[in-house]
Each structure stands twice: as C-alpha cells, then as structure tokens.
Amino acid sequence: MALMTGEQYIESIRKMNMQVYMFGKKVDCPVDDPILRPSLNSVRMTYDLAQMPEYQDLMTAISPETGKVINRFTHIHRSTGDLVKKVKMQRLLGQKTAACFQRCVGMDAFNAVYSTTYETDKKYGTHYHDNFVKFMLYVQEHDLTVDGAMTDPKGDRSKAPHEQADPDIFLRVVERRPDGIVVRGAKAHQTGVLNSHEVIVMPTISMKPKDKDYAVSFAVPMDTPGIYMIIGRQSCDTRKTEGSEMDVGNAEFGGVEALTVFDDVFVPNDRIFQNGETEFSGMMVERFAGYHRQSYGGCKVGVGDVLIGAAAVAADYNGAAKASHVKDKLIEMTHLNETLYCCGIACSAEGHPTESGAYLIDLLLANVCKQNVTRFPYEIVRLAEDIAGGLMVTAPSEADFRDPKLGPVIEKYLKGVNGVSTENRLRILRLIENLALGTAAVGYRTESMHGAGSPQAQRIMTAR
C-alpha cells in the first residue's frame, strides 16, 4: 500500500469501533464530534504533508527492510541525520497546526521498543524483537498511526507496583495462556490515543523482580475488546460546540488526551514485546523518555513560532510594534524558542548507534532539552500575554460581534490601528488566548511541564 492521504486516514479511523466516553456519555461517532474533530485534523496533517513534494524529505523515509517510502513517523532512526530530520519535521508540523499533532509518542515508542527488544532477545533468546519487526512492517505497509502508552495512574507514589492497595493501579498481566496474555489496568494522559489505529504499551518505571507482572510491553488495535477511553477535559473545550470559529481561536486543529482503560484485554503471543523481564523495563523507559524529550525540541518550537508570530501581529494591530520594549520582548521570545530548538538538534547530532543499529539520542542533552521546555514556554506565553493586552481575555463573544445592535458598538470601541478590521484584531487575540490558556495550551503550556516526565524526572536523569 502507498502512503495514505489525509482523507484516507480520516476514513480509516471512522471504520474503527472504538469505545469513547465524554461528559458521561458514549460518543457514537468520534470522527464527527465537534470537540474531538480538531485533534483528528492535526494528525491528518502528518499525512497531508507527506503527500507534498516540498516536504517529503522531512515527512518520509526509505524503509531499510523493504526499500519502500514510508511516513517518518513509522521509521526507525538509522543515523544522526534521521534524528535531526525528526526534530525538523516536528517543528514544521507545530507551525502548520499550532497544536499537538499526536504521533510523536508512537514514533518514540517504536524506536525505544526496537532497540530494547533486540538486547532482551540477545540475553534471553526470546522472540520479542522478531515480534516487533513484524508489527513494524505491518504498520509501515498500511501507514498506520500508533500511540505510545507509558504513564500509569501510579496511585501511592511511595510504593512499588506490587505494594499498591489496588494491584490494577499499574497495568499488569493477570493471566498467562499458551496463546498469549491477558492484561488489566489503565494508562493516563494518553495523547492522540483516540486518533490511533494501534497502541504500544510500555512499563512506566524500572521494575524489580517482585513487579514481574508489571514489566510488560505489547501492541494491540485500539478497537480491541476491553479497551475504552474517557476523554479528558480541556479549558474552553465546549466553545467548539457553540458554532463560533472566532471564539475558538484555532478552529481547525487541536489535541486530545484520554484515560485509556484495559479491562482484561487479550494480547496474542506475536504482539508481546516484554513479559516479565524486569531488568529491561528500565532500559525501555529510559530510551522512550529520551526520545520523547528530544521531540519537545521540535514540536514545542513549532507551536512557539506561531505564538511569537501572533504576538508580533497583535503588536501591529495595537499600534505598538515600534515600541522598544515590545521589540525586546519579541526578541526574547525568539531567543528562548531557538534555544529549545538548539537543544533538540544538539541531542540529535550527538546521537549514537545501539546494538540493534537504531540510533539513540544523547540522553543527557535530551534531558537538558526537556528541562528547558518546562520553563521557557511559560516565559514565552507570559510575554505574549503582555504584548497582547487584557483584551485577550475580556473580549466579547462572536455572537455579540455579529449582533445587529451590539456589533457596531464593538466595532467602534475595540478597533485598533487604521487599516485593520476589528474582527481581525479579535481573531488574533483569540488565537493567542487559545495558545496561552485554551485547548491548545494542553499541547504547549501545561504539557510542556508534565509531558515526557515532570521536571524532576529530567533532573534525576541529568544527575545519573
């Protein structure tokens, strides 16, 4: 099969029978739900850009196994050049969507599981790597979107998985059968899981021998019986149901997270990548975290580009573009954003091959990258809010703006510089609001803090 088009991707998700719940009700058709559809559009962009000749060098790669063109999100990094292109691709997609495009987690899981299974098989004579390569080729052939699921709810953080009052608070194997395993538990904060064909599950922490049942990795389709998702709330999410494009800020694109429950899900043997090898759970976690922390040097920078541009436009519309302090703030925002990009490129350029032949980033620099991401976007947002002004959060609704009586009043009193309509001024302010406080903030501001591990996780790795 050739690379899927964006429309083919949408229809492939539509055909899946996923179990999705939101606001206490089952969502009958997630693809067409107004709250959820913008997140699907963001993933679609990863397919649309791969079809465009000008972006194919970044968006696609040649599979060494088949010699065919594949989407880079399904590729195993074979050089530092691959690692660098990954970051550049992520920045491009951040610029195009101004949101989380959701496929990074699966790509990072792909690469972590590939090298870890190779070394597990080398020690134990297992067949996990063969299982994964078979799965990888299937994903590449059908151009599928794969999510990565690592974060367990964790319960009492002071206790190991086997010590928890509720043994299901970490995902675990509850039954081992001749033809596979049965797993139970949940994965939290699952970005893009709703828009994925498959999910790769990984352990969330290093495991000790007593936690053998929790040292498990596998892949299953998202409509496998026993899997269901509970969608997470986002700030301003119900604005998408009001019929106002302006008030949403970024009406076309967005992100989505879910609590994903595995209620006695069967996993066949050929889809298992780890099953009790506790000493390799830490390796898988460390490598995935490293890859994902590298990712933030691309995706967050691309969204930052949009925010900086929007702030500059707001300054123009406010008539403040020539003010020296505004110029200095835009320079500072750019400096911080490009510093994040430097870290993403540096940890890629300093990468090295693992025993499997797949390339791993420089783990120290990847953790430095993510540590900066837990700080710099907050300052970029603060400066953008400063430049935009208070109208960003006090502007009337689009319904008021379209009202025959109120509209002319809003037009009169909220106008900025001559030559720019009041509507355009309000639109750019709503975009900034969306990036700073609204649904896109999940993929930029707050997610910069906790995605790929909280700040302390990077400090622990830096010390190590």
pLDDT in tens, 249-261: 999 999 999 999 9
pLDDT band, residue 454 (cuts 50/70/90): confident
- 441 pLDDT more than 90: no
Task: Please name the residue ranges forming H helices in 350-421.
Answer: 363-373, 376-388, 391-394, 398-402, 406-413
Query: What's the predicted TM-score (pTM) here?
Result: 0.97
Q: Is 347 a catalytic residue?
A: no
Q: Is 257 a catalytic residue?
A: yes
Integer Cα distance of 332 and 376 in angstroms: 10
Residues 319-333 have a mean pLDDT of 98
Residues 49-74 have a mean pLDDT of 97
Tell me what pLDDT residue 439 has: 79
Helix, strand or coil, per DSSP, at residue 261: strand
- 201 pLDDT more than 80: yes
User: 9, 46, 47, 100: which one is catalytic?
Assistant: 100
The answer for residues whose C-beta is within 8 angstroms of residue 429's C-beta and 6 or more apart is: 314, 388, 389, 391, 392, 395
Could you confirm whether domain 283-463 is CATH 3.40.50.720?
no
Residues 48-76 have a mean pLDDT of 97
102 CA to centre of own chain: 4
User: 292, 341, 347, 444: which one is catalytic?
Assistant: 292
- Residue range 367-416, pLDDT digits in tens: 999 999 999 999 999 999 999 999 999 999 999 999 999 999 999 999 99
User: 75, 77, 104, 374: which one is catalytic?
Assistant: 104
Integer Cα distance of 128 and 273 in angstroms: 5
Place of tokens 């935009």: 388
- Tell me the average pLDDT of the chain: 97
User: 257, 277, 385, 398: which one is catalytic?
Assistant: 257
Q: Hey, where are the domains in the chain?
A: 6-279, 283-463
- 1 pLDDT more than 80: no
CATH superfamily of 6-279: Butyryl-CoA Dehydrogenase, subunit A, domain 2 (2.40.110.10)
High-pLDDT (> 90) share of the chain, %: 95
User: 47, 118, 296, 359: which one is catalytic?
Assistant: 296
Q: Is 29 a catalytic residue?
A: no
Strand pairing report for 352-353 and 216-221: unpaired
Q: Is 7 a catalytic residue?
A: no
Least confident stretch, 211-215, 349-353, 441-445: 441-445
Integer Cα distance of 160 and 165 in angstroms: 10
pLDDT band, residue 447 (cuts 50/70/90): confident
- Residue range 287-302, pLDDT digits in tens: 999 999 999 999 999 9
Residues 353-378 have a mean pLDDT of 97
CA distances from 424 to 109, 310, 323, 387 (A): 41, 12, 21, 16
Q: Is 47 a catalytic residue?
A: no
Taking residue 194's Cβ as centre, other Cβ atoms within 10 Å add up to 27
Q: Is 385 a catalytic residue?
A: no
Residues 391, 429: contact at Cβ < 8 Å?
yes
Q: Is 439 annotated as a binding residue?
A: no
Question: Within 13 Å, how many C-alpha atoms sit on residue 21's CB side?
Answer: 9
User: 129, 299, 341, 347: which one is catalytic?
Assistant: 299
Taking residue 355's Cβ as centre, other Cβ atoms within 10 Å add up to 9
Q: Is 104 a catalytic residue?
A: yes
